[in-house]
Structure 1
Amino acid sequence: MGRLNIKITVQKLGNFLSSMVMSNISAFMVWGLFAALFMRAGLFPNEKLLAIADIMITYLIPLLIAYTGGKLIYDQRGAVVASIAAVGVIAGSNIPMVLGAMIIGPLGAYIVKKVDALFEGKIKSGFEMLVNNFTATIISGGLTIIAFFTIGPAFSFVTKALTSGIYWMTEMGLLPFTSILIEPAKLLFLNNALNHGILLPIGIEQVVEKGKSILFLMEANPGPGVGVLMAYSIFGRGTSKRSAPGAAAIQFFGGIHEVYFPFILMRPLLILAVIVGGICGIATFTFLDGGLISPASPGSFLVIMALSPYHANTYIANVAGVLVAGMVSFLISVPILKTGKAEETVDSNLANSIPSVDKIYFACDAGMGSSVMGASLLRKKVQEIDSNIEVLHTAINALPSNAQLVITQKELTPRAKKKAPDAYHISVEHFLTSPEYDILIEHLQKNREDSIMTVMKPANLLLEENIFLNQDFTSKEEAIRYAGNALVRTGYVKESYIEAMIERDEMLSTYMGHGVAIPHGTEEAKKDVIHSGITIIQAPKGVDFNGQKARLIFGIAGKDGTHLEILSKIAVICSDSNNIEKMIQAKTAKEIISILDIDN
């Protein structure tokens, strides 16, 4: 149990670090491009323009990292506190503080989140903004001072020590053996803890000193995985043989390494192929003095070429490292595949009934790899059935708690379930040929037909299925869309009514006081109302409506005045704060209906 907990913790850490870095990867690439172009050995040496790269790596990138980490912990408020605290880390060190920003940013957001929880419900009405501003100011200011005197110097020392260790391993010829850790870590989705937590900050230091770093190639090298996939393309069987060529192209040119994970998991002995291939690839990079000017993300051959310093020898070294890794991995994979039959099983875990949804989340470790590919494959098929359904890709760590349908690779599903426990989860084995996609499309088509039949029937004002408990939203627009989509699904309004609800709130806030908001459409949107109806959303944590927290949201659609009586009843009941609190604490939809005393 102890080892399992450690593994889960490291997975979460790796995923979180990856989320901070991947969201800002373009900033790293721009910095690397400026550094390569305008340094003394670059194509266009220019000290003034090189100063821009120095500002990026010293200030911009650490602040972006801290901001993103804070936002992941505690939305915008956490992001602001994290960014302010990061200034102390930056000022307290004379080296780029990417690693320090990764720590102080989330820490600052976590502290302000806990402090806010202590004051929740204890602040008198009208003083919320004052208290919030003061707590954020005190916490961020205090952390900035602490970071300046302690965290900045400490991480400066740690980073220099790690950098020295990497240089020592390089000089001793031991660097290639890091593949023994990196390749298995990929299969366990732990590579981000190594790659973004350690290799990236040290690699930045090497670029600043030498103009390139081999560390950016160690995890991003597509060679080992492509070697396994090419072996499957020639010596594989059945579905694996048919899908391997496409997967190899996606990994090599698209940089999505996750595509080869299932192929190795079918024949675990193939882990030896990618480990030895990785060792040979890194050894080649080291011997020929390869390296990149910034992180290669995604790990595509095209990206590696684009980020190679402008020297013929470096291009040769980087190409050779990828080719050697691929050839060695291929040669080791062939006898493994020829000596046994790969087990190919299809595990369709779809239940007989998939709920109606307006969003489908395809989640992976960082939200930038397999989830992008999976979402792309599904999006076109889903849009042909129902244009109202969005197919999104995201990192598991960023999954909203109110997600309705989540698709993940089988090994990641347990983590996704912890992040979105109330969602319907689908596990896939192969990203390119998963039968689960076809089953999902079939059920969505059936749900669509059922929904059309529902629209044709007269609707009651309030359906029990339109009362949603314990929801959590990051913005009022998200909450309003959620309410509007519920009205659309149950046949009260047309889809265009949702935008009218958002437009109406922008014109004049629909927050009514006492923690209650009643978003509804504009006057012009009445034509989009099919039947009068109401949906009720319980949001205990509150949704920010222009500085006011709404914990009960009534989505309203009115036609021919038939909703006015129930609106009047809601107004009377909500004028009593005790009734509002009862509805916020209600455990079932029936409790809320009984408090409102609504008779459809």
Structure 2
Amino acid sequence: MSDYTPAATGTGVRARIQRGGAFLAGMVMPNLGAFIAFGLITALFIPTGWINTIAGTTDDPLPITTQIGSIVGPLICILIPILIGYTGGKMVHGTRGAVVGAVATVGAMMAPVALQLVGLALNADEPAPAPASIAEIAPNILAALFMGPFTALLLKWWDRFIDGKVKGGFEMLVDNFSAGIIGGALAVFGIYVIGPITFWIAQGLGWLVNTLVSTGLLPLASILIEPAKVLFLNNALNHGVLTPLGAAEAAETGKSIMFMLESNPGPGMGILIAMLLFGPRAIRPTVPAAMVVHFLGGIHEIYFPYVLLKPILVIAAILGGATGVLWETLFGLGLVAPASPGSIFAWILVSPPDNLLLNMVGIVLAAAVSAVVGSVLLGFGRKESATDAAIDLEAAQERSAENKKASKGQPASA
């Protein structure tokens, strides 16, 4: 998974999606360490985590695990949204933008509390009780993705407007009060407008995902996810939608299938296996190193040139990904945090103890289906000229590099 750099240049739908995806990724990816910390603490210290499972105390958790596990809620419901809002604000307007972005994010986070305090206006006879703490609220990461950069943008416009108009000696006073007023105003705006909107959007998306899960249709998500990965549009889906949904579900249930949809290394591994066995002979020597980097290192971009060399292989990726998702859906599997980068080691670290073996089987099945379908699509090695293949691979690598530059904001080569 690629690091974030400034927004992509160019025009067209794909360029716009890449810009949006890169910006969302820029807010989330620097904070993946916090997600991983949340996931590791969850995997180790919740009542059904590794420590209580090994000790045989899942029904009566060890006191120390209860104490340490008490920070799981604050991490995902308080710290992570604030970090994302802070990072988004900093991307727009430096440290000043980061501060007001974090302040405004807190307001949006409290929207569910405000909704409950007014009794939701739909059940006035028996209003829902206010939660004891924000840790009992589902994390409103979607609000953080909006409030951080939006609030920082308003402050940036204000700073430009007053630039050169403030008398000497009053700059710090004006700067501090303007940041405080804008941050505070947007926090209130977040409580009553953005927070409720994003809260209900998350509820709606959650309902949609649950519907797909209950009807067995979630594997269809691979039709969108796998081609998007090859075009470096995966960040827009993964960090913009899947990670926030997964975080909300993991805070409630301790795990989420959302973390598995994009990060499964199986489909890419299957394509590399097919290319190693039946790809053009000129490129087979390049595959083993790519397999190590992809499967162990979690750098999925390494297999993209092979798909660009034979675009029909995207069918193998889709079917492999759908197989993995179907397996995960049938057995109710999930990860406790984002697996980033998407390597086998990351999956092991963030797999719940009772899901670990089945999660590994899901990777194997996805790789197997992708490899078999890819081998068929390659004609079992009977269709390609070695010389032409070497030239085509170089061209495919160049196209992949151009796609990556576009997704990371670097201008494409002439």
TM-score of Structure 1 vs Structure 2, range by shorter chain: 0.7 to 0.9
Find 1:50's aligned residue among 29, 46, 69: 69
- Give the aligned residue type for 1:35: T
**Counterpart residue number, 1:68:** 87
- Give the aligned residue type for 1:18: A
Q: 1: distance between equivalents of 2:403 and 2:46?
A: 44
Once the two structures are overlaid, the 10-residue window that deviates more, 69-78 or 120-129, is 120-129
Identity rate, percent: 40
Find 1:78's aligned residue among 90, 97, 100: 97
> What's the TM-score once normalised by structure 1's chain length?
0.57
The reply to whether residue 29 of structure 1 matches residue 52 of structure 2 is no
8 Å Cα contact 1:204-1:213 kept in structure 2: yes
The reply to whether residue 410 of structure 1 matches residue 409 of structure 2 is no
Q: 1: distance between equivalents of 2:212 and 2:340?
A: 24
Deviations 1:336-382 (A, max 9, x none): 22253274437999xxxxxxxxxxxxxxxxxxxx9xxxxxxxxxxxx
Once the two structures are overlaid, the 10-residue window that deviates more, 63-72 or 280-289, is 280-289
8 Å Cα contact 2:108-2:140 kept in structure 1: yes
Q: 2: distance between equivalents of 1:304 and 1:221?
A: 8
**Counterpart residue number, 2:321:** 278
Q: 1: distance between equivalents of 2:366 and 2:258?
A: 16
Displacement, 1:174? Answer: 0.1
DSSP 3-state at the match of 1:292: coil
Displacement, 1:415? Answer: 5.8
**Counterpart residue number, 1:163:** 206
Change (3 A) 1:301 1:126: same
Change (3 A) 1:125 1:340: farther
**Counterpart residue number, 1:179:** 222
Find 1:8's aligned residue among 15, 29, 49: 15
Find 1:101's aligned residue among 144, 156, 171: 144
- Give the aligned residue type for 1:88: G
Q: 1: distance between equivalents of 2:374 and 2:189?
A: 53
8 Å Cα contact 2:309-2:393 kept in structure 1: no
- Give the aligned residue type for 1:9: R
The reply to whether residue 194 of structure 1 matches residue 240 of structure 2 is no
Change (3 A) 1:33 1:12: same
**Counterpart residue number, 2:391:** 345
Q: 2: distance between equivalents of 1:53 and 1:263?
A: 41
Displacement, 1:99? Answer: 1.3
- Give the aligned residue type for 2:368: M
Map 1:525-564 → 2, pairs under 5 A: none
The reply to whether residue 248 of structure 1 matches residue 288 of structure 2 is no
Q: Which has the larger radius of gyration?
A: 1
Find 2:47's aligned residue among 37, 40, 45: 40
Higher helix share: 2
Displacement, 1:48? Answer: 2.8
Deviations 1:10-49 (A, max 9, x none): 1111111111111111111111222232322223333332
- For structure 1, the residue ranges without an aligned partner over 5 or more in a row are 350-369, 371-407, 428-600
Q: Spell out structure 1 runs of 4+ moving beyond 6 A.
A: 346-349
Q: 2: distance between equivalents of 1:150 and 1:89?
A: 8
**Counterpart residue number, 1:323:** 364
Q: 1: distance between equivalents of 2:375 and 2:38?
A: 41
Instruction: Give the total of aligned pairs.
Output: 362
Q: 2: distance between equivalents of 1:155 and 1:9?
A: 22
DSSP 3-state at the match of 1:330: helix
The reply to whether residue 225 of structure 1 matches residue 265 of structure 2 is no
Q: 2: distance between equivalents of 1:286 and 1:236?
A: 32
8 Å Cα contact 2:323-2:369 kept in structure 1: yes
- For structure 2, the residue ranges without an aligned partner over 5 or more in a row are 1-9, 53-60, 113-136
**Counterpart residue number, 2:130:** none
**Counterpart residue number, 1:116:** 159
Higher strand share: 1
